C-alpha cells in the first residue's frame, strides 16, 4: 500500500481518480492505521486490485497451448507437407465451394420458410397455427439423414410427379428419378429442416418483443406487413441472432451428411482422395482447417450483425471487434476500461 507522506498537491485531474477496486478491502485497514488526512487521501496513488489467480491461469493455459503446438509440429504422422499439398487442390476447392453455396442456399430458403411458419404460428387463424405446429413437429421428429434419403429415394414411392387438378386432369408429369438428383435432394431436405428449426427461433424472438410496440404501430396506422418487417422483426433480432448463428455454423458442418448420397461437398471431396491414397489423417486435417476458417469468419460476422441490431439498446456504442478481442486477452486488456467479455 503506497501512500506519500508529504501532503503534495493533488496534481492529477479528478477524472483519473476512478475507483478501480470495490470498496471494503483497503478502507478497513486504512482505518486501523491512523486516520489519514483528506490531503493525504487525495494525494494517494490508486493501486488496482491485483489478480494473481488470473495470471496463474493464463500461464497454465499458455503452457498447454505450447504443448499442443509442439506435438502438432513435431509429430511426423500429421504429415503437414501433405496437408499443404492438398490444401488448395482443385477438387477440394470445388467441394469447398459446393459446401459454401449449399449452406447459403439452404439457410436463406430455410429462413424465408421459417419466418413464414413463425408468422403462421402466431396468427389468429387456427388452421394456419395448426399447420405450422404440425410441420415443425413432423420435421423435428425425423432425423435429417432419413429426410435426405427420403427425398433421394422419392422415386421409389412416387415414380412420377404431376401438376394438375386434384384427382382430375394432369397437365405436366415428370419422372421423380430425374428430378431429385443428389444435390436437389440435399437442398430440399436440409431446407425443410432449417425451416422447422428457424421457425421456432424466430417465434421465440417475436414473442420477446413487447406487445405495446405492435399497438403503438397499429395506432399510427402502419400496415400489418410493415409492423412485422419494420417494428417487430428488428427488435426480435437480438434474440434471434445467437441461436441463428448456432444453426448456421451447425448447418455448415451438417451439409457434410450429403456425402451419403454422393454429393461432392468439402468432406466428400476429401474422402474421395483418401479412399485412393490412404492419407486419411492429413486429408481430414485439410477439411477440418477449412471448416475452422469458415466458422471463424462466420463468428466474426455474427459479432458485427449483433452489434448492428443492438443499436438503441444501450446508452453507449459498443466496442469494436479488436477492442473486444484485446479486452478478452488477459495479458493486454483489463487496464483502464474493463471491457465486456464475449457473452
CB 148 within 8 A of CB 260: yes
208 interacts with other proteins by CB under 8 A? no
Stretch of residues binding other proteins (CB under 8 A), selected from 17-25, 193-201, 208-216, 240-248? 208-216
Residue 231 lies near other proteins (rule: CB under 8 A): yes
CB of 61 or CB of 207, closer to other proteins: 207
Interface stretch with other proteins, choices 12-20, 77-85, 151-159, 206-214 (CB under 8 A) = 206-214
CB of 150 vs other proteins, minimal distance in Å: 39
Measured from the CB atom, the residue of 217 and 261 that comes closer to other proteins is 217
Comparing CB distances to other proteins, the nearer of 235 and 256 is 235
**Which one of 144, 182, 234, 245 is in contact with other proteins (CB under 8 A)?**
234
Q: Tell the smallest beta-carbon distance from residue 223 to other proteins (Å).
A: 6
Q: What part of residues 258-277 is at the interface with other proteins (CB under 8 A)?
A: none
Burial of 66 (0-12, 13-18, 19+ CB in 10 A): exposed
How far apart are CB 265 and other proteins at their closest, in Å? 38
DSSP state of 4: -
**Which string of x and - marks every residue 288-317 that binds other proteins (by CB under 8 A)?**
---------------------x-xxxxx--
Q: How far is the CB of 49 from other proteins (least distance, A)?
A: 31
Question: Could you give the CA distance from residue 269 to residue 90 in angstroms, rounded to a whole number?
Answer: 10
d(CA 93, CA 266) in angstroms, rounded, equals 8
Phi, psi torsion values for 181, nearest 5 degrees:
-70, 170
User: Dihedral angle at the C-alpha atoms of 318, 321, 327, 332, nearest 10 degrees?
Assistant: -140
In the stretch 209-228, what mask flags binding to other proteins with x, by CB under 8 A? Answer: -x-xx-xxxxxxxxxx-x--
The span from the CA of 154 to the CA of 178, in Å, is 11
For residue 306, CA distances in Å to 63, 193, 282, 335 come to: 33, 24, 36, 26
> Which residues are paired to 164 by β-bridges?
170
Contact 274, 286 (CB under 8 A): no
Nearer CB in complex with other proteins: 210/338: 210
Size of the site for other proteins (CB under 8 A): 24
Residue 74 C-alpha cell reads as 513435431
**Interface with other proteins, residue 240, by CB under 8 A:** no
Among 99, 147, 235, 271, which residue sits at the site for other proteins (rule: CB under 8 A)? 235
Q: Are 290 and 270 in contact (CB under 8 A)?
A: no
Is residue 119 close enough to count as binding other proteins by CB under 8 A? no
Residue 3 near other proteins by CB under 8 A: no
- How many whole angstroms separate alpha carbon 145 and alpha carbon 153? 12
Element (H, E) at 167: none
Q: Of 234 and 330, which CB lies nearer to other proteins in the complex structure?
A: 234
Question: Rounded to whole angstroms, what are the CA distances from 90 to 95, 96, 290, 296, 335?
Answer: 9, 10, 14, 23, 48
Give least dist CB 86 to other proteins, A: 47
Positions that interact with other proteins (CB under 8 A): 210, 212-213, 215-224, 226, 230-231, 234-235, 309, 311-315
Amino acid at each position: 500500500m503506497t501512500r506519500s507522506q508529504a501532503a503534495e498537491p493533488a496534481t492529477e485531474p479528478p477524472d483519473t481518480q476512478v475507483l478501480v477496486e470495490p470498496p471494503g478491502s483497503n478502507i478497513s485497514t486504512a482505518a486501523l492505521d491512523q486516520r489519514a488526512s483528506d490531503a493525504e487521501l487525495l494525494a494517494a496513488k490508486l493501486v488496482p486490485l491485483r489478480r494473481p489467480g488470473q495470471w496463474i491461469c493464463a500461464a497454465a493455459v499458455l503452457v498447454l497451448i505450447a504443448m499442443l503446438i509442439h506435438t502438432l509440429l513435431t509429430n511426423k504422422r500429421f504429415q503437414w507437407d501433405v496437408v499443404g499439398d492438398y490444401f488448395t487442390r482443385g477438387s477440394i476447392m470445388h467441394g469447398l465451394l459446393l459446401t459454401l453455396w449449399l449452406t447459403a442456399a439452404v439457410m436463406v430458403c430455410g429462413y424465408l420458410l421459417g419466418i413464414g411458419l413463425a408468422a403462421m404460428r402466431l396468427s389468429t387463424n387456427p388452421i394456419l397455427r395448426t399447420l405450422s405446429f404440425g410441420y415443425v413437429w413432423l420435421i423435428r421428429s425425423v432425423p435429417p439423414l432419413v429426410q435426405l434419403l427420403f427425398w433421394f429415394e422419392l422415386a421409389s414411392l412416387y415414380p412420377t410427379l404431376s401438376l394438375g387438378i386434384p384427382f382430375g386432369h394432369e397437365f405436366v408429369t415428370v419422372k421423380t428419378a430425374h428430378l431429385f438428383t443428389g444435390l436437389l435432394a440435399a437442398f430440399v431436405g436440409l431446407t425443410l429442416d432449417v425451416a422447422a428449426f428457424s421457425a421456432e427461433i424466430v417465434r421465440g424472438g417475436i414473442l420477446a418483443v413487447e406487445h405495446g410496440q405492435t399497438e403503438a404501430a397499429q395506432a399510427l396506422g402502419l400496415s400489418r406487413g410493415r409492423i412485422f418487417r419494420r417494428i417487430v422483426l428488428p427488435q426480435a433480432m437480438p434474440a434471434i441472432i445467437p441461436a441463428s448463428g448456432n444453426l448456421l455454423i451447425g448447418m455448415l458442418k451438417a451439409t457434410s451428411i450429403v456425402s451419403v448420397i454422393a454429393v461432392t461437398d468439402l468432406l466428400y471431396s476429401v474422402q474421395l482422395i483418401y479412399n485412393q491414397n490412404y492419407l486419411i489423417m492429413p486429408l481430414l486435417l485439410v477439411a477440418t482447417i477449412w471448416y475452422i476458417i469458415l466458422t471463424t469468419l462466420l463468428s466474426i460476422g455474427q459479432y458485427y450483425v449483433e452489434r448492428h441490431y443492438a443499436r438503441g439498446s444501450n446508452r453507449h456504442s459498443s466496442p469494436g471487434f479488436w477492442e473486444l478481442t484485446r479486452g478478452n486477452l488477459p495479458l493486454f486488456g483489463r487496464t483502464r476500461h474493463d471491457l465486456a467479455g464475449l457473452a
